[in-house]
Amino acid sequence: MALDKNGIAQRIAQDLRDGWYVNLGIGIPTLVANYIPEGIEVEFQSENGILGMGPFPFEGEEDADLINAGKQTITAMPGAVYFDSATSFAMIRGQHVQLTVLGAMEVADNGDIANWKIPGRMVKGMGGAMDLVASADNIIVAMMHTNKKGESKLLSKCSLPLTGVGCVKKVVTNLAVLEITSDGFKLIERAPGVSVEEIQNATAGRLVVEGEIPEMKLN
Amino acid sequence: MALDKNGIAQRIAQDLRDGWYVNLGIGIPTLVANYIPEGIEVEFQSENGILGMGPFPFEGEEDADLINAGKQTITAMPGAVYFDSATSFAMIRGQHVQLTVLGAMEVADNGDIANWKIPGRMVKGMGGAMDLVASADNIIVAMMHTNKKGESKLLSKCSLPLTGVGCVKKVVTNLAVLEITSDGFKLIERAPGVSVEEIQNATAGRLVVEGEIPEMKLN
Amino acid sequence: MNKVVPNVEEACKGIESGMTLMLGGFGLCGIPENSIAQLVKMGVNDLTCISNNAGVDDFGLGLLLQGKQIKKMISSYVGENDEFERQMLSGELEVDLIPQGSLAERCRAGGAGIPAFFTPAGFGTEVAEGKEVREFNGKPHILESALTADFAIVKAWKGDTEGNLVFKATARNFNPMMAMAGKITIAEVEELVPAGELDPNFIHTPGIFVQRIFKGEKFEKRIEQRTVRPKN
Amino acid sequence: MNKVVPNVEEACKGIESGMTLMLGGFGLCGIPENSIAQLVKMGVNDLTCISNNAGVDDFGLGLLLQGKQIKKMISSYVGENDEFERQMLSGELEVDLIPQGSLAERCRAGGAGIPAFFTPAGFGTEVAEGKEVREFNGKPHILESALTADFAIVKAWKGDTEGNLVFKATARNFNPMMAMAGKITIAEVEELVPAGELDPNFIHTPGIFVQRIFKGEKFEKRIEQRTVRPKN
């Protein structure tokens, strides 16, 4: 069965390692914070200027001066720190953040990503996405395998304007975990009950299937 | 009579304006702080990371963590602020400091300055001098008109390795106040009792003397 | 060295139509709301506004958009604003979209006397069009230039009479860099204290970057996305 | 996420001969004296040291010079040190002199992922030799590149278990930028507190830049130029 958004987040959370600093984009990536494996500590960076972001505040305790990059009211964990936007992107550009998780409209089998602009529609802007994808050593894209029309979002070439070139390392979708290799998307894991064939059918870009593909293990 | 070092500092202090941020180099420039005209407030920046530098501490109150760019123990005025070296030179390079006063070994009549290196001798380094001279809109050089051998330090071309190119705007020496113009050193004021001829004799670079040259007015 | 002006009217004096302004804030967090209200009152127009966002329809820079006072926006993200969308699609409003980190660094560069720097952000995208590309450490980078403004308008939590500023939590965001990059920088603060009351170790924006400071009359501090969890 | 190591021995593990180190401090102010003493003990040599100054004969980096552990110094000012002078004039020691502002900015750039930037400092001087020159706003600038190090060693006043650092007065100087630019950054602090004790608004170096932190055993904090005025 294909995963839902929480399932995708849960699978990505398995990749977290103790001591990592992590930047989560808006949408599915945000959910990753709910599935941190036991026994490890990670710290969340929000590019508007906080390290050590905590959960939403209790009702009535919202602080207009304390928000995340999605403009949502948040809290700060003990040991948190606030900083300005230049310092924030110094962390990102300088590769001090160990993992970036973000959504995408399209990913190409060479690691290109498009997630900021649809020609003809209102363009809201790239925000911090271009800095994040151009800088991070370790980028996981969290998205559905296909769009609302059922078309594959894993392509041989992005059709939309690019956010970054050759930067995605890994994609986790409702169907599969895939790594970007020089030969294209390499299938690493299948969602529980999803066949290799289903994944092949939903993938427009080059797909590499080698040997037995294990199922994801989710709790 | 030619000025002494304190006289040079006193004359330069007359150029200070209320509200200015000022960086004083080591040597004669440091003495300028002793002659701030009444009724005006200036704030001293030291490039190692303080704005609002105060006088030396009282005996027994020295703090190893609070020094100026000359590595001397200092104090901080009310309203002072500490910052890192990158921010400090952001102030300097970004032209937020209204006046820089520094010493020199040689100044050329096109505004070139040499004050950091004598070939064959131990080179201590340029410290912040190259940033200061390349950035400041308003640089006054405070120095003796001639060196210990009696040779002019105001030249048509610097013989020593340069610290900066075409950057000096004004020179105040023990003999005169001079502005750098496209025609060379323009004589603005004479030290009390010093003749134009004496200044001409002590100046190797092009000297422009137009009309009556007034004497400096010092209290 | 007293930089205090009595009110927002004095603070905004000299801002004219056609000027380039930088305005601090991220979303509606840390925006100079008193000064924005004054700009509406003054009716200056043809403004180029450098600000990470463009406010919402009825708050922040949205208010200037309503009055068609803005000619051009330089931002990283401009969603959440119908009037913005209308003016942009109709061509009334010029928009220059810049990656957020490049925007922050370009403002800092403008204030720090660094005319240009290389960054990997935007390489291979339309952001890189017309820009120099150079490889460093095997990775392509593009050359970005400094941004400055006629006036920078920032909002701080506390300030003193020397112009030293302290920001609260994530309301800091773009304010410190923009304060550096204004030819004239105006700071509106929630609390204005005498020089010497702020700890010199803990000042975010040294007063050298601030030319005018005033206590804002009223801070609504509107929340854009109120997200909470229930108390149990 | 506990970055605390019990002592200077653990903190300096992995530092090897031939490595490039950054060391915070200006003069003797804010230098990581415990770690420097440990480097002497460890006897690592052929070091490239990036530090604004080189200490004095018997303190700071001067101690490493005495033991001929330094192959190359990258600094802005290296006076006040006879052994340094001797080694430099004899050619035993390589010295790369850099304008102080460029040194600070190059460290920051290294930490911030900016591989190169333009600055006016040094144009027309020997510092500019071999460097690209380009005019911006009618003024020539030279292209300077980022600096990074295998280890950055900084000294802070207070730190917490997450690696967040606070500096005191002018002992801040180069420490924050160097903390950003080390592949591994070691912080020695006078006071080590649990996470949550430092005010998140007032942290100079966010812990993300620091990998190891320890409480220094002893801080001599020597004064280089004791200047005072008489009490009357």
Instruction: Give the pLDDT band (50/70/90) at residue C89.
Output: confident
Instruction: Give the pLDDT band (50/70/90) at residue D133.
Output: very high
Instruction: Give the pLDDT band (50/70/90) at residue B200.
Output: very high
Question: What confidence score (pLDDT) does residue C1 get?
Answer: 59
B126 and D27 within 8 Å at the Cβ level: the answer is no
Best mutation target, D1, D198, D211, to test chain A (most A CBs within 10 A): D1
Strands (E) across C175-211 are located at: 182-193
Question: Nearest CA of chain D to the CA of C198: how many Å?
Answer: 12
Q: Which of residues 163-222 of C touch B (CB under 8 A)?
A: 164, 180, 194-196, 200-201, 203, 206-209
Q: And the tokens for D68? A: 């001929």
pLDDT at position D10 over 70: yes
CA distance C68 to C78: 16
Average pLDDT (C44-57) is: 96
Residue from the list C114, C169, C200 with its beta carbon closest to the beta carbon of D119? C114
Q: Which residues of A touch D114 (CB under 8 A)?
A: 93
CA distances D192 to D39, D155, D210, D213, Å, are 22, 12, 14, 8
C180 and B90 within 8 Å at the Cβ level: the answer is yes
In this complex, whether A and B touch, counting 3 or more CB pairs under 8 angstroms, is no
Question: Nearest CA of chain A to the CA of C205: how many Å?
Answer: 11
In this complex, whether D and C touch, counting 3 or more CB pairs under 8 angstroms, is yes
Q: Give percent of chain D with pLDDT exceeding 70.
A: 100
Best mutation target, D102, D125, D231, to test chain B (most B CBs within 10 A): D125
Domain ranges of chain B: 5-31+97-208
Nearest CA in chain B to C111: B94
User: What would you measure as the largest C-alpha separation in chain B, in angstroms?
Assistant: 55
Q: Which residues of C touch D205 (CB under 8 A)?
A: none
Q: Which residues, in sequence order, are bridge partners of residue A8? A: none
Q: Which of residues 5-34 of C touch A (CB under 8 A)?
A: 26-30
Query: Could you report the per-residue pLDDT of B62-78, keeping only the tens digit for each?
Result: 999 999 999 999 999 99
D118 and C113 within 8 Å at the Cβ level: the answer is no
For C44-76, letters b (16+ CB in 10 Å) and e give beebbbbbbbbbbeebbbbbbbbeebbbebbbb
Respond yes or no: is residue A47 known to be catalytic: yes
Q: Which residues, in sequence order, are bridge partners of residue D141? A: D134
C123 and A134 within 8 Å at the Cβ level: the answer is yes
In this complex, whether B and C touch, counting 3 or more CB pairs under 8 angstroms, is yes
Task: Show the low-confidence residues of chain A (pLDDT under 70).
Answer: none
Q: Which residues of B touch D125 (CB under 8 A)?
A: 130, 161-165
Instruction: Give the pLDDT band (50/70/90) at residue D1.
Output: low
Q: And the tokens for C168? A: 């609260």
Give chains near B: 3+ CB pairs under 8 A: C, D
Query: Could you report the per-residue pLDDT of B79-134, keeping only the tens digit for each?
Result: 999 999 999 999 999 999 999 999 999 999 999 999 999 888 888 999 999 999 99
Instruction: Give the pLDDT band (50/70/90) at residue B187.
Output: very high
Question: Nearest CA of chain D to the CA of C209: how many Å?
Answer: 18
Question: What confidence score (pLDDT) does residue D85 get?
Answer: 86
**Which one from A43, A47, A106, A189 is the annotated catalytic residue?**
A47
pLDDT at position D203 over 70: yes
- Using alpha carbons only, how large is chain C's radius of gyration in Å? 18
Query: Could you report the per-residue pLDDT of D53-108, keeping only the tens digit for each?
Result: 999 999 999 999 999 999 999 999 998 788 888 898 899 999 999 999 999 999 99
- Helix or strand or coil: residue A28? helix
Q: Domain B5-31+97-208 has what CATH class? A: alpha beta
Question: What confidence score (pLDDT) does residue A207 get?
Answer: 98
**How would you class D6 by CB atoms within 10 Å of its CB: exposed for 0-12, middle for 13-18, buried for 19 or more?**
exposed
Nearest CA in chain A to C102: A131
Strands (E) across C92-181 are located at: 94-97, 116-119, 133-136, 139-145, 149-160, 165-166
CA distance C51 to C95: 11
* Residue D110 φ then ψ, to 5°: -60, -40
Give chains near C: 3+ CB pairs under 8 A: A, B, D
Average pLDDT value for chain D: 96
B161 and D126 within 8 Å at the Cβ level: the answer is yes
D113 and A135 within 8 Å at the Cβ level: the answer is yes
Question: Nearest CA of chain D to the CA of A212: how many Å?
Answer: 36
Instruction: Give the pLDDT band (50/70/90) at residue B136.
Output: confident
Query: Could you report the per-residue pLDDT of C121-176, keeping only the tens digit for each?
Result: 999 999 999 999 999 999 999 999 999 999 999 999 999 999 999 999 999 999 99
pLDDT at position B58 over 70: yes
Q: Which residues of A touch C122 (CB under 8 A)?
A: 130, 134
CA distance C231 to C158: 31
3-state secondary structure chain D: CCCECCCHHHHCCCCCCCCEEEECCECCECCCHHHHHHHHHHCCCCEEEECCCCCECCECCHHHHHCCCEEEEEECCCCCCHHHHHHHHCCCCEEEECCHHHHHHHHHHHHHCCCEEEECCCCCCHHHCCCCEEEECCEEEEEEECCCEEEEEEEEEEEECCCCEECCHHHCCCHHHHHHHEEEEEEEEEEEECCCCCCHHHCCECHHHCCEEEECCCCCCCCCECCCECCC
Q: And the tokens for C132? A: 């120099």
Question: What confidence score (pLDDT) does residue B122 get?
Answer: 81
Question: Nearest CA of chain B to the CA of C23: how many Å?
Answer: 19
Average pLDDT (D112-125) is: 98
Number of Cβ within 10 Å of residue D145's Cβ equals 15
* Residue D200 φ then ψ, to 5°: -60, -20
Q: Give percent of chain B with pLDDT exceeding 70.
A: 100
pTM comes to 0.97
CA distance D105 to B88: 10
**Which amino acid is residue C31, in one-letter code?**
I
Q: Supply the angle between the helices B85-93 and D100-112 in degrees, to the nearest 10.
A: 120
Question: Nearest CA of chain A to the CA of C211: how many Å?
Answer: 20
Q: Which residues of B touch D61 (CB under 8 A)?
A: none
Question: Which residues lie closer than 8 Å to D229 by C-beta, 6 or more apart?
Answer: B55, B56, B57, B58, B59
Residues D60/B92, Cβ–Cβ less than 8 Å: no
Q: Supply the angle between the helices C100-112 and B85-93 in degrees, to the nearest 10.
A: 70
D117 and C117 within 8 Å at the Cβ level: the answer is yes
**Which amino acid is residue D119, in one-letter code?**
T
Give chains near A: 3+ CB pairs under 8 A: C, D
Q: Does D125 touch chain B (CB under 8 A)?
A: yes
**Which one from B41, B43, B47, B198 is the annotated catalytic residue?**
B47
Question: What confidence score (pLDDT) does residue D37 get?
Answer: 98
Instruction: Give the pLDDT band (50/70/90) at residue D218.
Output: very high
D79 or B167, which is more confident? B167
Question: Nearest CA of chain A to the CA of C6: how many Å?
Answer: 25
Query: Could you report the per-residue pLDDT of D20-45, keeping only the tens digit for each?
Result: 999 999 999 999 999 999 999 999 99
Give chains near D: 3+ CB pairs under 8 A: A, B, C
Average pLDDT value for chain C: 96
B79: left (phi over 0), alpha (psi -120 to 50) or beta: left
D200 and A95 within 8 Å at the Cβ level: the answer is no
**Which residue in D34, D16, D59, D45 sits closest to D187, CA to CA?**
D34
In this complex, whether C and A touch, counting 3 or more CB pairs under 8 angstroms, is yes
Kind and range of the H or E run holding C51? none
Query: Could you report the per-residue pLDDT of C73-88, keeping only the tens digit for each?
Result: 999 999 878 888 889 8
Best mutation target, C201, C202, C203, C205, to test chain D (most D CBs within 10 A): C201
Please report, in angstroms and rounded to a whole number, the separation of the first and last CA atoms in chain D.
Answer: 53
Torsion of CA A30, A16, D163, A58, to 10 degrees: 30
CA distance C119 to A155: 27
Q: Give percent of chain C with pLDDT exceeding 70.
A: 100
Q: Which residues of A touch D161 (CB under 8 A)?
A: 79
C76 and A163 within 8 Å at the Cβ level: the answer is no
**Which amino acid is residue C53, in one-letter code?**
N
Number of Cβ pairs < 8 A linking chain B and chain C = 65
CA distance C180 to C206: 9
